Amino acid sequence: MNKLTCPQCKKEIELQKSKKDIFFYFCKDCNIGGKGENETEAKRNFLKAYEQQKNSLAILLPPKSKNDIPAWVQNNLILFFNNPLNLLTSQLQKD
């Protein structure tokens, strides 16, 4: 199976195929996934999901274990530094 480098955490993820012949890429660390009827469509949908998450403040899920904390902090600091104004305005609108 083919591999793709996650644009957020830079880890290689492998193309998977379900029992129903659906292809998908999923990065467990970043919680980003994309699926399709073929490899090209799965890759396109994965990159589209990454762009959507990058351009908006995603729901920040806590790390699954204490070993995942450094990667979680690194990924979310990038998100906060790239979108500080969006973060502040979204928090002000909630209050």
Tens of pLDDT, residues 47-91: 998 888 776 654 566 777 889 888 877 777 766 676 655 555 554
Report how far residue 8's alpha carbon sits from residue 46's, in angstroms, rounded to the nearest whole number.
12
Average pLDDT of the residues of the chain: 79
What pLDDT, on a 0 to 100 scale, did the predictor assign at position 36? Answer: 93
Q: Where are the domains of the chain?
A: 3-94
What pLDDT, on a 0 to 100 scale, did the predictor assign at position 25? Answer: 94
What pLDDT, on a 0 to 100 scale, did the predictor assign at position 31? Answer: 84
What pLDDT, on a 0 to 100 scale, did the predictor assign at position 43? Answer: 94
Contact 82, 74 (CB under 8 A): no
What pLDDT, on a 0 to 100 scale, did the predictor assign at position 54? Answer: 73
Report how far residue 55's alpha carbon sits from residue 16's, in angstroms, rounded to the nearest whole number.
26
Report how far residue 13's alpha carbon sits from residue 10's, in angstroms, rounded to the nearest whole number.
9
